[in-house]
Amino acid sequence: MERDRVLTVDELKRLESSRARNPRRDEKYAFWAGPMPSPNERPEYHASVKKLYDDFLQPPVEYVDAYHPIVSGAPVFNETIQDILIRNALYVVADLSLPRHDVVFEIGFGLAAGIQTIFYFDAGSSIRRKYPNESTRFATLNELKKLLPPEIGDVIFAQPPRHIPEGKRATRSSLEKLAPWFNSNVHSPGLRLSRRQCCKIHFEDRKCEYARELAKLSRDSVERYYFINFQEGHEEQERHVETLLKRRGLVSVKDLTSIVESSSPLCRSCFFLHAADRVIVDGTSALTYNEEAAESAFILGMAVAIAGKANKGPAKRKGTKKSTKIKMLYQEGVGTIGMFAGGRASWQSRRWRDQIARELEGW
């Protein structure tokens, strides 16, 4: 759940000063996305993984996670993680030993940015003990896969052959035994290439099979397309948003379904997000991990990465595809998926039609 905080001028100055002292480094690094039981203290589990990177892996690559000094305990750190720590990483490791919506957002961002993303599961992770009620839902990798968004249902997972030693047990000898496995199954695959054109093929760089269709849409289409994703129970809000967008002359990306009809869910979502001029995602959170909220988080992560590439690219000719805009709508009183730092608006149970219409007016 998100918390709002008003910063004083002095606090803003200290935050900016902290960023200046800890700029992004130029050397290569891997970014680990994982659950954060405490935002102020790296768990012993990930401290051991960091030690593996620092002292045992070859070739050397720096370990970076959301505890990096550049975050500096800032109350709003989403864009820092997205545009600095993840976008510039050599590869991403998504630790789904205990899945969190924020981590699934980072997976979507990493994949859509073309970064090799490695999926990691360790049933023995001590972080799972911080969430005893949830860890029983994901006792095995197969149980986890059943609750992942369909876009990542068939990804390749790396599973450590033994428990990661922590604290005093993380001796040089114990970490040396794990290092060859990490080098072969996590570290080495991520080093094969830094960016990919197609995110569905693991450890290979292949062209997007729909690149020609997307280029034609960008060049020739007179239509403006919208992509929307709403969760179960919010069908009325979805229909209302569709009506408002159609009145403005926008066309649903579903009209392009015949192009990607035989593709995987990941390919379809990627194609639709590349084709869309406007993206609206239902970012209503859930108290515990939920498959529908996780899919919303994944779609948001992909959308942000794709829009970032398109909107920061070279200027397009007049008449070609406009910059993509993204907005998250969510049910007030429930709260939002935390990682998204862009435009957002809530709706109340009684006045949601007026609130949504007001948010989309002129957008």
**pLDDT tens for residues 116-163?**
999 999 998 999 988 888 888 899 999 999 999 999 988 889 999 888
* Together in a domain, 159 and 226: no
Give the pLDDT score at 13: 65
204 within some domain: no
Binning pLDDT at 50, 70 and 90, where does residue 75 land?
very low
* Together in a domain, 312 and 219: yes
* Together in a domain, 315 and 184: no
- Which has the closest alpha carbon to 219: 310, 318, 112, 309? 318
Residue 112, CA distances (Å) to 88, 102, 284, 359 in order: 13, 16, 22, 27
* Together in a domain, 179 and 237: no
Give the pLDDT score at 200: 87
Domains held by the chain: number: 2
16 within some domain: yes
pLDDT in tens, 240-293: 999 999 999 999 999 999 999 999 999 999 999 999 999 999 999 888 899 999
Flag whether pLDDT at 3 surpasses 70. no
Structure token pair of residue 34: 């994982």
Domain CATH code at residue 316: 3.40.50
* Together in a domain, 186 and 296: no
* Together in a domain, 27 and 157: yes
* Together in a domain, 88 and 25: yes
* Together in a domain, 184 and 216: no
3 within some domain: no
Output the pTM of the full model.
Answer: 0.88
* Together in a domain, 228 and 175: no
Domain boundary among 160, 191, 222: 191
Cis before 59 (ω within 30): yes
Residue 333 belongs to what domain range?
Answer: 211-360
197 within some domain: no
* Together in a domain, 73 and 139: yes
53 within some domain: yes
Partners of 346 in the β-ladder: 330
Lowest mean pLDDT among 35-49, 101-115, 121-135, 303-317: 303-317
* Together in a domain, 181 and 222: no
Domain boundary among 142, 163, 191: 191
199 within some domain: no
Residues 6+ apart with CB under 8 A from 55: 172, 175
* Distance in angstroms (rounded) separating the CA atoms of residues 55 and 63: 11
200 within some domain: no
203 within some domain: no
* Together in a domain, 141 and 272: no
